[in-house]
Amino acid sequence: MSSGTQLRVLTAAVLIPVVVAAIWWGPTWLVAGLAGIIAVLALLEFFAMAERIGFHAYRLWTCLAALGIFTQQWHAARLSSNSRLVDLLDRARSPQVSLELVLFGFVLGAAGIALGSRRPLAEVFSSVSVSAAGLVVIVIPFSAVVRLNGVYMLGPQLLLFTVVLVWVGDTAAYFVGRAFGRMKMSPQVSPNKTWEGAGANLLGALLVGALFGYWMKIEPVHMLAMAILGSIAGQVGDVFKSTFKRSAGVKDSGTILPGHGGILDRIDALILAAPAVWYYFEWFVMRRF
């Protein structure tokens, strides 16, 4: 095993128990807070890459908006999980903070910064664009982890299922791709990704779906469907993130995680896998509960 692989495994061995403990024992507000911090760190890495090609984001305001999105998702998850315990009239009287309202506040703030800033007017377009892009391609989809964790009765299991299917899929793709990979998936964007690795990712996710389905007592067809959607969406997210790195001319989004690169490198697959699992569960499974 190479030194790079050893470092990668060691970092994972330290992080995995921490993540699992937070998901399993932590309340939804803690998961939302930790996920919000992770999203902000990933957002800053995204902005650092953008600066390499001349795009300067409204960093502070966008990070505050990101935290607002996670707060709103926690509020929505809390109302949803308490739907069987809270009187409907009390819920109707409580103030409703929607995702649209948070984004409206972001746009107002961005407009204020653009109009009041001493930056050259030529930067306004790119600054607003890259700031909004960070929210759209990272923060909003990643915030689905809060909704998963907040599901009534099954939240921790459902979020753990999503995280584990990404971990197992990534690991299977990494080792199978290195050992047997021949057919390049996207050589210009991610030369190390192969179709053999992608197949191993999908098979690993299906195995996770079968095991968690037995544990969670959810119909196998739904668990396997969520595993397939999560695997495909996660792999799309991984390659999509690579396009940003290639555009910025960097190998990794950061250096904070030894052997893995940056935060964005570590959560790239989860960013799209989480909403894929969440929306399938909400539309096709949640009716049973």
Per-residue pLDDT reduced to its tens digit, 207-227: 999 999 999 989 999 999 999
The DSSP call for residue 218 is -
CB 265 within 8 A of CB 234: no
Mean pLDDT, to the nearest integer, of 257-264? 74
pLDDT band at 13; cut points 50, 70, 90 = confident
Q: Which two tokens stand for residue 60?
A: 């502070």
Higher pLDDT, 11 or 37: 37
The whole-angstrom separation of Cα 171 and Cα 186 is: 19
Q: What is the mean pLDDT of the chain?
A: 88
Mean pLDDT, to the nearest integer, of 84-109? 73
The whole-angstrom separation of Cα 172 and Cα 196 is: 10
Mean pLDDT, to the nearest integer, of 62-85? 86
Residue 154 dihedral angles phi and psi, to the nearest 5°: -105, 5
pLDDT of residue 223: 96
Q: At what angle do helices 155-180 and 220-248 cross, to 10 degrees?
A: 60
Mean pLDDT, to the nearest integer, of 225-232? 97
The whole-angstrom separation of Cα 148 and Cα 156 is: 8
For 249: left if phi > 0, alpha if psi spans -120 to 50, otherwise beta; the answer is left
Q: Whose CA is closest to 155, among 32, 270, 41, 264?
A: 32
Confidence check: pLDDT of 114 > 50:
yes
pLDDT of residue 85: 47
